[in-house]
Amino acid sequence: MSKSNILLHEIEEQPSVIRNLLDYEMENIRSITRSFQGKFKYILIAARGSSDNAARYAQYLFGAYNKIQVALATPSLFTLYKRPPSLNEALVIGISQSGQSPDIIEVLKEAKKQGRPTLCITNEFNSKLTKTADEVIKLHARKEKAIAATKTYTASLVALALISCCLDNDPKRLKQLMMVPSWISQTINSLKNLISLTQRYRYMEHCVVIGRGFNYATAFEIALKLKELTKVFCEPYSSADFLHGPIATIGKGVPVIIVAPGGKVKRDIENILIKLRTLGAETIIISNNTPLLLKGRFLLPFPKSADEWLSPIIAIVPGQLFARQLAIEKSLNPDNPIGLTKVTETY
């Protein structure tokens, strides 16, 4: 494998990683969810970077399907300020691909001091985080060599989706979840030639990414990948927040990436596309809805059969491929971006 193909290989690995996760962790997660039943009323998630974006997905996932409120932790209260809040009635989850971030570990340590159940989702089984948590879900993503997280991100989403299904013992949703590896494979295969058209955006210096609902997380993750790999200044927004001021930054030719699956957000996205067209924006559409795709200048499709609640796991893949190819067009190394390290320890 040539050096420039490490990230591409890991993007292409995602179907097999997810199959392994579903095979190896199904019974473990069933056991974990049974043991936690009745012991919490809300979930607090501590995470950074891509893992924090996975936590945003969890907010919509557990809220919509399990009627469980999900809050995002504020780790500096636990570390810098030494003033941790009460975690009464919380299940505390730490998500970290490396399992080494001190601030995430500190949140779980405090949760245990307060007698709360703790769970971690990580790719490193023998990490400090796994030694702290009561229960562990391993991502089974093998070693991630590229700096930018791809397969550990989608595996984290699948782990959360599996928890949600097991909490409600929902065989219908579980059956849909089992289709995700196939949908990702289809997406990768369909974009092999299309993605080369990213040369149009070689000189792009700034852009906006829009998503809403389940794909609010996808907007954040695509923006992060573009920042990491291409040095493009990229801001993520929900389509609702975007209308409350940031739309004023859009003028003729400004690139706007829109994550637009079919589902509850479709009409909302259609309305914002009308406004963007009036402003002359350059729209890049990631969607499994043909009418929405046809409204964009640059189209990144994924399979129509993917339900909205699972679409973030598939819709991120076109964003990963787009960011990687754009880095190459800009003569940057997508495998090892300057100024970044694989493991970042924050306090």
Q: Does the 184-329 domain belong in CATH 3.80.10.10? A: no
Which of the pair, 219 or 2, is modelled with greater confidence? 219
pLDDT at 3 over 70: no
Residues in the chain, total = 347
The tokens of 81 are what?
């300020």
- Global confidence as pTM: 0.96
- pLDDT value of position 338: 87
- pLDDT value of position 347: 61
pLDDT at 262 over 90: no
- pLDDT value of position 153: 99
CB atoms within 10 A of CB 238: 18
Question: Tens digit of pLDDT for each residue in 136-146?
Answer: 999 999 999 99
Question: Tens digit of pLDDT for each residue in 36-89?
Answer: 999 999 999 999 999 999 999 999 999 999 999 999 999 999 999 999 999 999
Using CA atoms, how far apart are residues 131 and 8, in angstroms rounded to an integer? 32
- Find all residues with CB under 8 Å of 331, minimum gap 6, and list them: none
Q: 282-287 and 298-301: which strand pairing?
A: parallel
The tokens of 215 are what?
């794909």
Using CA atoms, how far apart are residues 106 and 111, in angstroms rounded to an integer? 9
- pLDDT value of position 174: 97
pLDDT at 244 over 90: yes
Using CA atoms, how far apart are residues 220 and 235, in angstroms rounded to an integer? 8
**Confidence band for 255, pLDDT divided at 50, 70 and 90:** very high
In our burial notation (b when 16+ CB lie closer than 10 A, e otherwise), range 282-302 reads bbbbbbbbeebbebbebbbbb
Q: Please, which residues bridge with residue 284 across strands?
A: 257, 298
Q: 69-72 and 90-95: which strand pairing?
A: unpaired
8 A C-beta contact, residue 23 and residue 70: no
**Confidence band for 346, pLDDT divided at 50, 70 and 90:** confident
**Confidence band for 163, pLDDT divided at 50, 70 and 90:** very high
**Confidence band for 190, pLDDT divided at 50, 70 and 90:** very high
Q: Does the 3-178 domain belong in CATH 3.40.50.10490? A: yes
- Find all residues with CB under 8 Å of 227, minimum gap 6, and list them: 233, 234
CB atoms within 10 A of CB 136: 21
pLDDT at 192 over 80: yes
- pLDDT value of position 2: 41
Domain range summary for the chain, segments of one domain joined by +: 3-178, 184-329
**Confidence band for 193, pLDDT divided at 50, 70 and 90:** confident
Place of tokens 């990702």: 184
